[in-house]
A and B are shown apart, each in its own frame.
Chain A
C-alpha cells in the first residue's frame, strides 16, 4: 500500500482530493454543475480541477437542473461516471423527477440492462442568513426511494472515503454535505480509500444513552456528550455516515446497551431520517426510550435570534438527553459558560 500516513486536512480539501484522485485513476469520471469551474470552485471543493483535467471533464452547466440531471443519468448509462454538483441541496427539488423517476429506477425497470453510476453532491447551508431556500436538509426524501444511496459524512476523513466510494459505486449516490463542516479538519490519509457503505462509526463509547447525529449534528452531539459528562451521564455517540444503506446492526447494538436513543438530524423530524432511525431502534430493541431532535417545524428564518432557535445545539441536545436518562429529575440545562466552552462551529459569511 502506498503512503497512507494521515495528514490534517479540511473537509472541503478532502472532497477535492478525492475527486482529483478518482479522476486521475479513471478517465470516465467527470464533474459537472453550475460554477464547478469558476474561481471559487464550489467553496473550493472543485477548485483547480478544470486546470488539471480540462474543460471536457470539468464543466459548468446552464441553469437547467432537471435536464442536467438527465444528462448525468444518460452519460452514466453510456458508461461514464458523472459527479453532478449542487451548491445547495434546495436545488435538488428541480432534479427530483430525474432522480426519483429515472436514476433510482433504471436498473430495475430495465431488467438489469443498465447501471447508473452517478454521484450527486449537494450542500446544506446554515448561518449568516441562508434562510428558507439555502438551508434545507432534504436527504430523507431520497432515502425514501429504493435505488438511491444516501451518504452524509461528518468529518474530513469520511468525506474523502465516502466520495471515493460514491464514485466507484455503480448506483446513483447522493452525497449530503453540510456547509459548516467544510472547514473542519481531521486526519486524512493521502492514498485513496473507499468508505465501506453501511458501516456506522461509534465516535464515543458510553453506557447511558445513544446520541445518533446526522451530518453537522454529529459534532453537535459530541459537544453535547461533553456537557452531559459534567453531570455524570455517559453518552455514546454514533455517526451512521451512510443513511442508505444504514448500519442497523450498529444502532441496535448501541441502543440495546444504553436503552435510550436520541436521534438528531440536520433536517426536520417529520418523516425524516431521525424518524426512520427511531423506527429501526424501536423494532430492533423493543422497550428502548426514544426521542428525536431536528429543525424546528417551520421555515428557516434569517434573523439570528430566530435562526438560533430553529436549530438544535449542544445545550438543547444535552438537555433532551438528560430528560431521557433521568425522567424524574429536575429540568437541567448546561450553564452558558459550559455551552460556550464546547461551541466550535463558528461561521461567518459570505459563502
Chain B
C-alpha cells in the first residue's frame, strides 16, 4: 500500500491525536465531578473512527455508539459542544439532555447515539434508505461493537440493507469484550466476516488497527456504494485501553491481562502516524490541539446550565 500524501497524513494524525488527548482530558477532569455523565472512552480505538471518517465526504452520515466520542470528533463535530454536553450545559450538542452516550450533530452528519446496544444499526439503514432515494451518492456508516452483532437487529439490518442495496457501510469495532465478557464466552464461532458476507455483501476484516489500511479499504468499498452496489461490511479489531465505563484502567480486575494492552500499545496508531510527520510540524499540530482542548474545557466550564424551564421542551416536536 502506498503511503498517503503528507497533507492526508497530517489530517489523519490531527484527528487521532485530538481524540486521544480530548479523552485523556475527560479522564483527568472526571474525578472532579464536573462531568455529569458516565463516559465510555475510546482511547486505543481511535483509529477505526478516523480511518473510516477520513474516507468519507462531508455530506456523508455516520452513526456511532455510546462509546462515541471518537466517531463524533472524527466526523468533524465540534469538541466544545461535546465537552459542554458532558458537563451538562445548555450549550451542549444535545442541550444537556443527552450526555456522553447520546452525542449528536446533524449538521456534521453525526446521527444521535444510543445506550441500548445495537439499536442504532437499523436507524442507519433507514437513513441510508433516504439517501438512496435522494440519489446524490451519499453513504451512511453504522459503527457498532462486537456485542451488537449478537442483537437481532444486526442480522435483520444486514438482510434489509442487502435486499434494498442500501448505501450503508457496517463497521464492527471488535474490541473483544462486551463490558467484561470476552467474545469466547459469547460467540460460537469467530466467523463474523463470513456471517456478514452470507447476506450478500463484500465483507472484510482489518485485524491490527492499521488506520491507513482501514482507510484504504473504506475508500474502495464506499466508491462502489456510491455507484449503487449496495452495502458492505468491515470488522475492525481493536482494543479498549480503559475500563468499560469510567476514566480508569481495570487490568487489576483479572478479566483480561496487561500483556494484551501492551501488544496493542506497541502498534499505537497515534504514535505510528505521528512518526511519519516531521517533528516540528507535529509539534505545531499538537500545540494547536492543546489550545483547542483548553478552549473547549473553558467553554464547557463557562456555559450556563439548562434552565429548569427546559425540562419538558422537545418532549414533542
Interface residues of A in 71-125 (CB under 8 A from B): 71-80, 82, 97-98, 101-102, 106-117
The answer on a CB contact under 8 Å between A74 and B129 is yes
Q: Determine, out of A60-68, A180-188, A222-230, A297-305, the stretch whose residues face the partner at the interface.
A: A60-68
The answer on a CB contact under 8 Å between A66 and B159 is no
The answer on a CB contact under 8 Å between B316 and A72 is no
Which residues does chain A contribute within 8 Å of B104, judged by CB atoms? Answer: 110-111, 113-114
Q: Which residues of B contact A (CB under 8 A)?
A: 92-98, 102, 104-106, 111-112, 114, 116, 119-131, 133, 152-153, 156-157, 159-160, 163, 313-317
A sample of 26 inter-chain contacts (CB < 8 A) reads A62-B156, A62-B159, A64-B152, A66-B153, A66-B156, A67-B152, A67-B160, A68-B122, A70-B153, A71-B122, A73-B122, A74-B127, A75-B126, A75-B129, A77-B111, A78-B129, A102-B119, A107-B314, A108-B315, A109-B97, A109-B102, A110-B102, A110-B112, A111-B314, A116-B317, A170-B317
Cα distance A70–B128 when bound, in Å? 12
- Report the tally of A-B residue pairs with Cβ distances under 8 A: 140
Cα distance A116–B317 when bound, in Å? 8
Quote the shortest CB–CB distance from A69 to chain B (angstroms).
7
Cα distance A67–B122 when bound, in Å? 5
The answer on a CB contact under 8 Å between A67 and B121 is yes
Quote the shortest CB–CB distance from A37 to chain B (angstroms).
14
Report if A56 contacts B (CB, 8 A). yes
Cα distance A329–B123 when bound, in Å? 59
Which residues does chain B contribute within 8 Å of A69, judged by CB atoms? Answer: 122
Number of interface residues of A (CB under 8 A): 41
Quote the shortest CB–CB distance from A28 to chain B (angstroms).
9
Quote the shortest CB–CB distance from B154 to chain A (angstroms).
8
Q: A101-B116, A170-B317 are in contact. Are A112 and B126 (CB under 8 A)?
A: no
Quote the shortest CB–CB distance from B9 to chain A (angstroms).
33
Cα distance A188–B106 when bound, in Å? 41
Cα distance A26–B125 when bound, in Å? 22
The answer on a CB contact under 8 Å between A112 and B122 is no
Quote the shortest CB–CB distance from A53 to chain B (angstroms).
13
Which residues does chain B contribute within 8 Å of A73, judged by CB atoms? Answer: 122-123, 126
Report if A6 contacts B (CB, 8 A). no
Cα distance A334–B127 when bound, in Å? 57
Which residues does chain A contribute within 8 Å of B114, judged by CB atoms? Answer: 101-102
Which residues does chain B contribute within 8 Å of A76, judged by CB atoms? Answer: 126
Which residues does chain A contribute within 8 Å of B121, judged by CB atoms? Answer: 67, 70
For the complex of A and B, the 4 pairs showing the least CB-CB separation, nearest first, are A74-B126, A70-B122, A67-B156, A78-B130
Cα distance A73–B112 when bound, in Å? 12
The answer on a CB contact under 8 Å between B122 and A111 is no
Q: Mark A137-167, 1 if CB is under 8 A from B, else 0.
A: 0000000001101000000000000000000
Quote the shortest CB–CB distance from A105 to chain B (angstroms).
9
The answer on a CB contact under 8 Å between A56 and B95 is no
The answer on a CB contact under 8 Å between A80 and B133 is yes
Interface residues of A in 272-307 (CB under 8 A from B): none
Cα distance A70–B140 when bound, in Å? 15
Report if A171 contacts B (CB, 8 A). yes
Interface residues of A in 162-178 (CB under 8 A from B): 170-171
Quote the shortest CB–CB distance from B101 to chain A (angstroms).
9
The answer on a CB contact under 8 Å between B127 and A77 is yes
6 more CB-based (< 8 A) A-B contacts, given A68-B122, A79-B130:
A71-B129, A71-B160, A74-B128, A78-B131, A110-B94, A111-B96
Which residues does chain B contribute within 8 Å of A147, judged by CB atoms? Answer: 315-316
Q: A78-B127, A106-B112 are in contact. Are A66 and B315 (CB under 8 A)?
A: no
The answer on a CB contact under 8 Å between B116 and A77 is no
The answer on a CB contact under 8 Å between B315 and A146 is yes
Q: A62-B156, A62-B159, A68-B160 are in contact. Are A78 and B102 (CB under 8 A)?
A: no
Which residues does chain B contribute within 8 Å of A107, judged by CB atoms? Answer: 314-317
Which residue of the partner chain B has the closest CB to A67? B156
The answer on a CB contact under 8 Å between A109 and B126 is no
Which residues does chain B contribute within 8 Å of A97, judged by CB atoms? Answer: 116, 119
Which residue of the partner chain B has the closest CB to A112? B314
The answer on a CB contact under 8 Å between A115 and B124 is no
Which residues does chain A contribute within 8 Å of B102, judged by CB atoms? Answer: 109-110
Which residues does chain B contribute within 8 Å of A75, judged by CB atoms? Answer: 126-127, 129-130
Q: Contact check: which of B112, B126, B160 meets A113 at CB < 8 Å?
A: B112
Cα distance A241–B143 when bound, in Å? 41
| Most chain A beta-carbon neighbours within 10 Å: one of B92, B97, B121, B313 | B97
Q: A66-B153, A68-B122 are in contact. Are A61 and B160 (CB under 8 A)?
A: yes
Which residues does chain A contribute within 8 Å of B157, judged by CB atoms? Answer: 64, 67, 70-71
Interface residues of A in 181-206 (CB under 8 A from B): none
Which residue of the partner chain A has the closest CB to B126? A74
Which residue of the partner chain B has the closest CB to A80? B130
Which residue of the partner chain B has the closest CB to A147? B315
The answer on a CB contact under 8 Å between B130 and A110 is no
Which residues does chain A contribute within 8 Å of B116, judged by CB atoms? Answer: 97, 101-102
The answer on a CB contact under 8 Å between A70 and B163 is no
Cα distance A117–B313 when bound, in Å? 17
The answer on a CB contact under 8 Å between A98 and B119 is yes
Which residues does chain B contribute within 8 Å of A101, judged by CB atoms? Answer: 114, 116, 119
